[in-house]
Chain A
Amino acid sequence: MSKLVSTPEASTLSRRDFLKASLVGGGLAISGFSLLRYLNGPRLTAHTFIGKARDYQTNLATLILQGLRELDITETIIKGRQILLKPNLVEPHKSTAHINTHPLIVRGAIEAFFHLGARSVVVAEGPGHRHDTLLVLEDSGLADVLYEDRIPFQDLNTMTGIPMKNLGQYTDLETLMFPRLMKEVDWIVSLAKMKTHHWVGATLSMKNLFGVMPGMYYGWPKNVLHHEGISESILDINATLKPHLAIIDGIIGMEGDGPIMGDPVQSGVVVMGKNFPAVDATCCRIMGIDPYRIPYLKKADQWLGPIHSTFIEQRGEPWQAVQHPFALTPEIPAHQGIQLKSV
């Protein structure tokens, strides 16, 4: 299915580069960040924020506000903006809350953006498997939160689309049909869940954007994109849509046979960042997964963003301090050989 090739993180520096780096690094005592710039010229860099949250009773609005501050997202930037929050509600079932972005993370993000002066916040999703989006909203528990907070919800699956030239060109699709709402808002926020995935290894902020593609053009499931290649489609969607912020609900994630049939895992983190590959690579490290083994991240590296830890400045908690390896399923090909070597 995938025409992308992955290589492990350890092999991204050649032996010659490594020796050169060791000599220069030792002699000049410069940081790894500057060292690689010296070796390779200007590279894409990014910041990510990791915040600890023991459970969903944590004050998540305060935590998300802290993250926004750490990422230099201030009131000046948000004031008057229309914000779209896109949670992950692929196939909710009442007994399996760990499939979805938790409603209280959504509420925390809503409060944080209003605190910074957002003009409006809308929550929108186009569930991948379910035709009845309102039932998805009810089963996920999000309906009650949005009703109490008077926040509108939009079904992206049945929203008329606007064609946009495919800027990724990894699939054979010349244009991508995005819901008109994507053009009406100022900021698109991927409010994803930290989960393993049985086709692509991990589903995080980039894969979550599959859900913006309307089912009425791509099907239920979004089978057009499956046939074009899931990794390739992820890259095209992200390259074309150019989303603004990723917030990952890793308080309780999903390990094993994700994104639906896996088991809950308490990893106790919220990860945020403006650069999606950097955020997803950081999440992978927390999950004990080598981001260079996730084909779409490997291909996104230094095109849509950095995935090497050297080029990602961590704010808040260091990823090593919160690492909680997720169980992988050996029988699933996409899980084979993706574990970080140091785990």
Chain B
Amino acid sequence: MPPPTILDNIKNLQLQSGGFPSHQGESERPDATAWALIVLSTSQTDSTAYDKGSAYLASQQRSDGRISIDRNFPTASWPTALAIMAWHDSLRFQQARESSIEFLLGFSGRHFPKSENSIIGHDPSILGWPWIADTHSWVIPTGLAMIALQIAGLGQHTRVDQGAEMLIDRQLSHGGWNYGNTLAFGKTLHPLPECTGVALQALSTKIHRSLIDKSLDYLLQQLPLLRTPISLAWTILGLSAWGLKPHNTNTLVGDSLDLQKRYGTYSLPSLALLYCASHTPQGLHSLFHTSHSQQTMVGSLAAPRS
């Protein structure tokens, strides 16, 4: 069994408003609250805490369905994908969830055709999701949006297909993903484990394994080197989604938690990620009640014909 302290630590952070802060002593935040609700809903231990947290999260929702990191900074709407996951099993907040889904489906950021003499490697015309409105799409927000929509049963939606196409286009030639640039001025850029984990998780129901084998190899090579929570958790989730959950996951998660002696208590999102990584049988999707029959492979990204 994974260390029980993660769940307890998260529950203890809940504030009077129902929201959760990133760290003790801080104010509640939508992203931290959504991660706490994901843990509470998948653990199914405390419905009162879950309902209070969900109500706080709903209070942060704008009329167009988005949930931003700060009500005064509406362009930073990346927590919307987390909220969709947080409300997945809730009938009471179904309307709020559907409103967020509608927002996410209509949100794509800035995209533009690739110029002939472009100094970047990727195709900037393929739709993904940005961190912040009116900016370009990047790997992690695209991955999170795809995961949220897949869990919501929209794995076949065109936007999810486009997201898969965008992620494959941004995969580095030697395997792995970084934040979302493959080449600049002729040089191939370096992969990063946290981005690779998110991308592999998002693509796990969309494409054939042969298209991402090098990226799985990259993560498997990185795994023994990782101790910090965000990279370790996304690496475990990315590998698990492809049936490669490390046999020593609980040891790895325990070692990461021990690092708090060095760095202080982790943020709530980091703790939540470690919780999900330790509990998942097969990736983040498997923590939720999802209809896998709705997940199909994108035409051109399906298994190559021999």
A residues with a Cβ closer than 8 A to B are 91, 93, 129-132, 134-135, 138, 143, 147, 152-153, 158, 160-161, 163, 177, 198, 215-221, 223-224, 226-227, 257, 260-261, 329, 331-332
Contact = CB atoms under 8 A, between A and B. Distances in A.
Interface of B: 22, 26-27, 29, 31, 69-70, 72-73, 75-76, 78, 110, 130-132, 134-136, 138, 140, 178-179, 184-187, 189-190, 192-195, 226-231, 259, 262-264, 267
B230 A131 contact: yes
B110 A177 contact: no
A218 B230 contact: no
Nearest to B259: A134
B195 A217 contact: no
Contacts of A130: 179, 192, 194
B69 A224 contact: no
B188 to A, nearest CB: 9
A217 B22 contact: no
Contacts of A223: 130-132, 135-136, 138
Q: Is the interface of B mostly helix, strand, loop or mixed?
A: loop
A227 B130 CA distance: 13
Contacts of B263: 134, 143, 153
A220 B179 contact: yes
20 contacts: A91-B190, A129-B179, A130-B179, A132-B193, A134-B259, A135-B231, A143-B263, A153-B263, A158-B267, A198-B185, A216-B31, A216-B69, A217-B76, A227-B110, A227-B134, A227-B135, A257-B185, A261-B189, A331-B186, A332-B185
Contact of A177 (B73, B131, B135, B230): B73
B192 A217 contact: no
A55 B78 CA distance: 43
A101 to B, nearest CB: 19
Given A227-B134, A329-B185, A132 B26 contact: no
A189 to B, nearest CB: 22
A219 B135 contact: yes
A198 B231 contact: no
Given A134-B229, A161-B73, 15 more contacts: A93-B190, A130-B192, A130-B194, A131-B195, A131-B230, A132-B230, A135-B226, A152-B264, A158-B267, A217-B73, A219-B132, A219-B135, A219-B138, A261-B185, A332-B185
